[in-house]
Structure 1
């Protein structure tokens, strides 16, 4: 083999090595990003937190050592939100009898149906309990929720359901006038429609996709915990049972036998404004969570149409939310209150 042949062979071998290296690099680049090893995990993730450079979103992102609070007691019927029909009784009735007479389904259409009793001992209205006695009862139907307002048919079904209950406990119901209540339901539904707000940020991968296990690990570092459904994590609140934020990604990836091999290119961060107490500073935490994750995961924050969200856009949203909070409070439907959670559900 002469020198020319040797040179060509060497050049060919070098080219093969270069191509092999390139394909190995390309393969690694396309593989979903994995959680770091234990030695590489930053044990102080909040020491490098980024902040939004806007006055409307001041305040730090505190280490969320939250304890999930116990569910609050079921709210009483309220004339602001419910059709209420008082039920007259010939004599006090036991809680056991009331419970036995309740209908098997506690809904009329898409609206909650409830019966409450005035406890002879505590002198308070409450959901019926066994072993108690009640001198008065009342049946109620929620006027509106996110499924819409009570209509004529649903009101009529409420009357039938309540009268059937009354027959079993020897009571007589006094129903309000249907047209008035249906009009109240429509007005309340219109108000709710005009003042409902659910904010969604999308976090998109710039380059490498993420594995589901990587997303879970990064979210956990910000205080998120597993939610009730696959692909859902939540940030618990300090002032109530409703989570402050939710983080959602593909449920199939979360159910995968090997989550490290799943490939995610986007996830969503969501805030259901009327459901969360104003004191939680939920929008500030939404913005900061999105920016922390974007920085750590090499992503970009966009709206649900893929448009990047600069700090200026977040500032505008923050100002609008302050107006919304004030309006809800004026209507006695403060964000995160029992009534607001019922109406915006």
Structure 2
């Protein structure tokens, strides 16, 4: 081995020896601080218990009594008794009296004073307690006095148990009387003065008051039950836009039996599929949820949406889904005629195409283009929320339904670099059948376009970047009123849940 290896080995040995020596030194210090166990006197009193050493800075602790030792040859358990000195009228404090001036003395003096007090207490004529065998040898009548004391204790314990049972019974009676009558206290004012220290008497008084005619009358006053809250969201299936198939059941079926199938029955082609159930004829329809039990089921496919009308292929796929669910639920479905259902879908799609309108207004910059980062800051400050795809900000109403949208060209606010992405045109887009007509969404959108143009330096223009006058905006507003009337006549008001489903993807 070379010198480097030898030096490393030597350094390791030195460090190891240093650690061992340090641990030994710490252990010796810890053992020095542990007090040594002192011998115990024959009377069972530790003469030095609680007395600190001369070099101990801890607060002084009073001497303590250790449990009396029972001789090894004694196989019978005997209760301790008081000696003649105590019976003659001496107290425990007198038996263990220690001069209070001794506590102010040095630790050695306090230790001697404690030992003298222990020796004084160890003498038979001044001892407070003694073992049972010593008492028997000293006095033949000690066993008699011990038996009498034990009998007295047992009698006192039995009396205490009896009083405790009586108090429990009284409390139960009071609770029952209070639960049976709300107006007991009003019918019997004298109960307010009943002494609470006598529970049995209180129970009798309450029972007497509850038996009065006034209390009985107050007890039968009916309490109006709160109205039952709806158990869940309103039903989704609507015959105006859905092809509904009933699934009559012979027996009640649990939702856990259906849910593994319903999670795979979301769509038939491009059309949404919904499954609902209810417990009886008077219960509302609800989507299949965990823990539910249903006596009736129904399944529906949407007749049309913005992807087009329901076609023959989608209807066949829906029929297969219905049959699969019917087999699992032991139901006998009655499927509608395919030709009639497809014709309904086409007619509904034609009506939706006539009412499907999207209007837009733009804000054109008066000077330099805006950065996407700046547009995002303005939209966020105005309370608009970014959509999931990151392409637009959405203005929501009080029910969290969309009113209009804000777009900044083809900017994706989630993926694009907003610092370098810019443009000079901000577009406000209104989906007419989706927004609630009661909010006058077109006027709201135009007012917001004017506001944002004044704040960031722009003007309101149309898609050809021509300024929009107030007369042109009023003309568009009148045409919207006709569109709203057409939707109302069909039973599909703008902004309603069923209309939003019809004009969805």
Measured after TM superposition, the shift of residue 224 of structure 1 is 2.2
Contact 2:372-2:411 within 8 A present in 1 as well: no
Deviations 1:266-297 (A, max 9, x none): 22111111111112221111111111122222
Do residues 330 (structure 1) and 489 (structure 2) align?
A: yes
Measured after TM superposition, the shift of residue 229 of structure 1 is 3.2
Deviations 1:103-139 (A, max 9, x none): 5140111110111111249712110112111111111
Task: Determine the structure 2 residue equivalent to 1:274.
Answer: 433
Q: Classify the secondary structure of the residue corresponding to 1:166.
A: helix
C-alpha distance in 2 between matches for 1:310 and 1:254: 35
- Whichever of the two has the greater Rg, that structure is 2
Q: Structure 1's 287 and 154: CA in aligned 2 closer, same or farther, altered over 3 A?
A: same
Matches within 5 A, 1:142-153: 142-153=302-313
Matches within 5 A, 1:253-264: 255-257=415-417, 259-264=418-423
Task: Determine the structure 1 residue equivalent to 2:316.
Answer: 156
Higher helix share goes to which structure? 2
C-alpha distance in 2 between matches for 1:242 and 1:177: 36
Contact 1:103-1:161 within 8 A present in 2 as well: no
Q: Classify the secondary structure of the residue corresponding to 1:104.
A: coil
Q: Classify the secondary structure of the residue corresponding to 2:274.
A: strand
In the alignment of these two chains, the number of paired residues is 272
Deviations 1:188-237 (A, max 9, x none): 11111001111122222232010123212333444323333324222120
RMSD, aligned α-carbons: 2.1
C-alpha distance in 2 between matches for 1:253 and 1:136: 47
Task: Determine the structure 1 residue equivalent to 2:443.
Answer: 284
C-alpha distance in 1 between matches for 2:412 and 2:331: 52
C-alpha distance in 2 between matches for 1:200 and 1:190: 23
Do residues 93 (structure 1) and 253 (structure 2) align?
A: yes
Task: Determine the structure 1 residue equivalent to 2:126.
Answer: none
Q: Which has the higher contact order (CA 8 A, sep 6+)?
A: 1
Q: Structure 1's 217 and 148: CA in aligned 2 closer, same or farther, altered over 3 A?
A: same
C-alpha distance in 1 between matches for 2:498 and 2:490: 11
Task: Determine the structure 2 residue equivalent to 1:204.
Answer: 364
Match of 2:352 among 192, 201, 204: 192
C-alpha distance in 1 between matches for 2:300 and 2:461: 43
C-alpha distance in 2 between matches for 1:308 and 1:254: 31
Q: Structure 1's 92 and 137: CA in aligned 2 closer, same or farther, altered over 3 A?
A: same
Task: Determine the structure 2 residue equivalent to 1:166.
Answer: 326
Task: Determine the structure 1 residue equivalent to 2:218.
Answer: none
Q: Structure 1's 164 and 103: CA in aligned 2 closer, same or farther, altered over 3 A?
A: farther
C-alpha distance in 1 between matches for 2:263 and 2:388: 28
Q: TM-score, normalized by length of structure 2?
A: 0.51
C-alpha distance in 1 between matches for 2:427 and 2:233: 31
Measured after TM superposition, the shift of residue 161 of structure 1 is 1.3
Contact 2:372-2:419 within 8 A present in 1 as well: yes
Task: Determine the structure 2 residue equivalent to 1:321.
Answer: 480
Match of 2:407 among 228, 238, 248: 248
Q: Structure 1's 283 and 96: CA in aligned 2 closer, same or farther, altered over 3 A?
A: same
Task: Determine the structure 2 residue equivalent to 1:82.
Answer: 242
Task: Determine the structure 1 residue equivalent to 2:289.
Answer: 129
Q: TM-score, normalized by length of structure 1?
A: 0.73
Deviations 1:33-91 (A, max 9, x none): xxxxxxxxxxxxxxxxxxxxxxxxxxxxxxxxxxxxxxx94642111110011112221
Question: Which stretches in structure 1 are left out of the alignment for 5+ residues?
Answer: 1-71
Q: Structure 1's 74 and 145: CA in aligned 2 closer, same or farther, altered over 3 A?
A: farther
C-alpha distance in 1 between matches for 2:412 and 2:270: 29
